[in-house]
Chain A
Amino acid sequence: MASSNASTDIQSGRLSPDQYSKNFEDIHAPLTKHEAVVEADRCYFCYDAPCMTACPTSIDIPLFIREIATGNPNGSAKTIFEQNIMGGMCARVCPTETLCEEVCVRETAEGKPVKIGLLQRYATDHYMADIGSQPFERAASTGKKIAIIGAGPAGLSCAHRSAMHGHDVTIFEARQKAGGLNEFGIAAYKSTDDFASNEVDFITSIGGIDIKYGAALGKDVMLDDLVGTFDAVFIGAGLPHVNDLSLAGDDAENCIDAVKYIAELRQTDDLSKLPVGRNVVVIGGGMTAIDIATQIKLLGAENVTICYRRGADAMGASAYEQEVAQTNGVTIRHWLQPKALHMNGNMVSAIELEYTSGANGSLSGTGETVTLNADQVFKAIGQSPDDTPFTKTGIELVKGRIGVDENRKTSHAKIWAGGDCVAGGEDLTVASVEDGKVAAENIHKTLMG
């Protein structure tokens, strides 16, 4: 795409083909067999292991690592898949530094946790390359039908576990491709070689899972109809809406929804076609902010600045993720909130930000401002659900998201929910997988009495 405004420096093809492939290669090279065995030997096989408790899906980490150490990587992968059928993707995207690896006793002992994430990837990659199809067999058909809304991590996890129990699953997916944020959201360098798509095939290889594409909730498919036709419904719809800055100029072409841009980046077969500003400002403090800032830098932006309205500790992105961005040349500025977009015609040319201060949750502007030139502004200040279909069917919401109990059951007798669309979640792939699994078990129990 050529520059659309003389004073706005937005260009595509800022880099050579070699640079694109180098910048977007796997962020962590997979462990070789030797590296995996050496690392596995570091595990102490703890009793009631803290890593296992920290894992949202309760993977038996000491056991799977021991299976790697003893030359049984496929058995190791089975141990992982038993608790988490998306063990492969979670090995790539889990913030292990704030989950299993944070509590590893070797972190306590010497500040170097066992590389659990990379070991999990070693085992699951080994299995998927060596065996390919997922290791579980379907139980005899129960004749029960389950509808699932959304083919993201929560929906696919629920679908797999339900299919395992012998139920017939139909997934309704708004897009033309399954995988949800694994396919459309995660930074490209975390899921290379079409892994997300391959994992969907791996999961659905159990059979009994039918995916209807282009079936958006509230438009192509109605919740009330599903409740009437199916024995149970699971909602894993994610968060389709992206929050706006609520400033004049918000809708300018170069004031961009980060989630949408990342989805385009993930789906494109030619990174050099993406429009990239010279000076880029990212508003937000979560993983999406980090992912867009790092990737736009890797696409050739010259100056990329993340502006976050609170301090580093309050950022949704972990310290490790912040470091990834900074290592790639992104500047992170704290205590700044957007105040105005400066326009040049119908394009944003700069963003004015107000300094903030605050403590114990309160936040106020100081009145002082700074203006940063911006050829592109990316909005990464959170997503929100489309709650209309839910309220229509009488599902209770909590703070705008679906309320669920510990079994991921909503207030509706036939509806369960999980993933980012439910209240109180962690917005992590691994948490969504757990939601889907727990819901499937409870649906099974409810349907089979």
Chain B
Amino acid sequence: MADLTSNFVGIKSPNPFWLASAPPTDKKYNVERAFEAGWGGVVWKTLGEAGPPVVNVNGPRYGAIWGADRRLAGLNNIELITDRDLEINLREMKEVKQNWPDRALVASLMVPCEEEPWKRILDRVLETGCDGVELNFGCPHGMSERGMGAAVGQVPEYIQMVVEWCKQHSNLPVITKLTPNITDVRHPARAAKNGGTDAVSLINTINSIVSIDLDLMAPTPTIDGKGTHGGYCGPAVKPIALNMVGEIARDPLTAGLPISGIGGITTWRDAAEYIALGCGNVQVCTAAMTYGFKIVEEMIEGLSNYMDEKGYKTIEDFRGMAVPNVTDWQYLNLNYITKAKIDQDLCISCGRCHIACEDTSHQAITNMVDGARKFEVIDEECVGCNLCVNVCPIDNCITMEEMTTGSDPRTQKPIDRDYANWTTHPNNPMAAIEPAE
């Protein structure tokens, strides 16, 4: 059995699965249920300043998009930071930490962008015995209108400044949570690093309108006839999050900076992918909000099983292994030739590969062979684009096969097994000129 224990910037937890700062971590009742279910840690829902708490809308707070059979694909919310009194949250956090000393408890914080409020809140959370703090620079709705959350996260100078205050006024590990609502995520990550952060976590939610109610003519969720953008999360955002994680992991200026991966993690496989891209642990919210806390059992068992199969004894054994293989387009091997291949035994003859290729791509798949319904790849036309694989409803029915000998029937050019990329390609006007032989 693989060892799933996690030590993220000194914060220990029995497994790398934390619940992200969000509604599931808003109070003791939920958090203790999560720990009973097996979660390794929680980031408590974001605390604000002392005094009258924020208020939430009393109408709908969530919106969603669905896949087939109404599987939740993306969730959007307009909920603010905790609307419970600071003192109650602090007291409950302390009780939870005492009850569950082996689990990670991290306080998420968001106060106005001034040194004094940050110092005050840091002093208060220290009383709880929590293991670290996460700076919420990500919330894209509501709080950002008040100069907090994403409003800070979108200005690298502010990030650096606040991180510096936090490192100065607290000995707790500092995790800086980044917003994806920015052009190049490397800049805020660099700023956080420059400020001395112990880690970054990403992504926070993405600005979104999930749908328009065509009767009310307003965005959903609709509050008395109006809607506003919310923060988007769930399985649909995972590709965006993975890219941002990858950008930071391979940026020479932030390489090695610990990352807590967040964004659409629903299964052990999602988690393993984040870890392969360099994340020390992962944070989950939407999957728990969709299925309840029990899903962590599948995540723990699945990750453990995968690691056993691969022979990885600890998370560190495979963490970051995919990072060197994330590169720029210009370095991809243009001599690598693949052709789609359809397994006729698995094919159910739905014809989706044919029509996708015929209507929208390269006319490289038949629909009739000798007068009978049959779907075969025409190697002379196939550019190896993979669209047929993606639209085929049967797993592994269509595969991309590498050509290693002979010549490409499409281009008539012999297969060249040597690596060659765009930087030296003859069609590239900027190509580096190779020395004449």
Contact = CB atoms under 8 A, between A and B. Distances in A.
A45 B69 contact: no
B373 interface: yes
A301 to B, nearest CB: 43
Contacts of B393: 44, 109
Contacts of A44: 350, 352, 393
A97 B415 CA distance: 50
A74 to B, nearest CB: 16
A41 B71 CA distance: 11
Interface in B364-423: 367, 373, 393-394
Q: Kindly name the residue among B70, B349, B394 whose own CB sees the greatest number of chain A CB atoms within 10 A.
A: B349
Contacts of B70: 37-38
Given A44-B393, A109-B394, A50 B69 contact: no
Contacts of B348: 105-106, 108-109
Nearest to B356: A47
B354 interface: yes
A377 to B, nearest CB: 46
A106 B394 CA distance: 10
Nearest to A109: B348
Given A38-B69, A41-B68, A109-B394, A48 B367 contact: yes
A106 B355 CA distance: 18
A109 B345 CA distance: 11
A47 B69 contact: no
B68 A105 contact: no
Contact of A50 (B68, B349, B352, B355): B349
Interface string A29-71: 0000000011001101111111000000000000000000000
Contact of B350 (A37, A38, A41, A105): A105
B351 A41 contact: no
Contacts of B355: 47
A394 B352 CA distance: 51
Interface in B122-157: none
Interface in A223-239: none
Contacts of A45: 352
Contacts of A47: 350-352, 354-355, 367
B394 to A, nearest CB: 7
B69 A48 contact: no
A367 to B, nearest CB: 47
B213 to A, nearest CB: 13
A108 B68 contact: no
B349 A41 contact: no
Contact of A46 (B68, B69, B352, B394): B352
A50 B352 CA distance: 12
Q: Kindly name the residue among B69, B355, B367 whose own CB sees the greatest number of chain A CB atoms within 10 A.
A: B69
Contacts of B367: 47-48
A295 B167 CA distance: 84
A45 to B, nearest CB: 7
Contacts of A50: 349, 373
Contacts of A48: 351, 367, 373
Nearest to A107: B348
A156 B348 CA distance: 38
Nearest to A34: B70
A236 to B, nearest CB: 33
Interface in A78-109: 105-106, 108-109
Contacts of A109: 348, 393-394
Q: Kindly name the residue among B351, B354, B367, B373 whose own CB sees the greatest number of chain A CB atoms within 10 A.
A: B351
B396 to A, nearest CB: 13
Q: Kindly name the residue among B68, B354, B367 whose own CB sees the greatest number of chain A CB atoms within 10 A.
A: B68
A407 to B, nearest CB: 25
Contacts of B350: 44, 46-47, 105
Nearest to A44: B350
A108 B352 contact: no
Nearest to B368: A48
A50 B350 CA distance: 8
Interface string B23-59: 0000000000000000000000000000000000000
Contact of B69 (A41, A49, A105): A41
Nearest to A45: B352
A47 B352 CA distance: 6
Interface string B335-370: 000000000000011111011000000000001000
B70 to A, nearest CB: 8
A108 B347 CA distance: 9
Interface string A91-134: 00000000000000110110000000000000000000000000
Contacts of B69: 38, 41
A47 B373 CA distance: 11
Contacts of A108: 348-349
Contacts of A46: 349-352
A47 B394 CA distance: 15
A66 to B, nearest CB: 12
A34 to B, nearest CB: 9
Q: Kindly name the residue among B350, B351, B373 whose own CB sees the greatest number of chain A CB atoms within 10 A.
A: B350
Nearest to B68: A41
A44 B392 CA distance: 9
Contacts of B394: 109
Contacts of A49: 351
A108 B367 CA distance: 17
Q: Kindly name the residue among B69, B348, B355 whose own CB sees the greatest number of chain A CB atoms within 10 A.
A: B348
Q: Kindly name the residue among A37, A44, A47 whose own CB sees the greatest number of chain B CB atoms within 10 A.
A: A47
A146 to B, nearest CB: 38
Nearest to A40: B68
Interface in B67-93: 68-70
A293 to B, nearest CB: 36
Contacts of A41: 68-69
A387 B349 CA distance: 45
A45 B68 CA distance: 13
A31 to B, nearest CB: 14
A155 to B, nearest CB: 35
Contacts of B352: 44-47
A49 B70 CA distance: 24
B280 to A, nearest CB: 38
Interface in A122-177: none
A157 to B, nearest CB: 29
A46 B391 CA distance: 11
Q: Kindly name the residue among A45, A46, A106 whose own CB sees the greatest number of chain B CB atoms within 10 A.
A: A46
A385 B302 CA distance: 68
A45 B359 CA distance: 15
A38 B71 CA distance: 11
B377 to A, nearest CB: 15
7 contacts: A37-B70, A44-B350, A46-B349, A47-B354, A47-B367, A106-B348, A109-B348
Interface of A: 37-38, 41-42, 44-50, 105-106, 108-109
Given A48-B373, A109-B393, 13 more contacts: A41-B68, A41-B69, A42-B68, A44-B352, A45-B352, A46-B349, A47-B355, A47-B367, A48-B351, A48-B367, A49-B351, A106-B348, A109-B394
The 3 closest A-B pairs by CB, nearest first: A47-B351, A47-B355, A41-B68
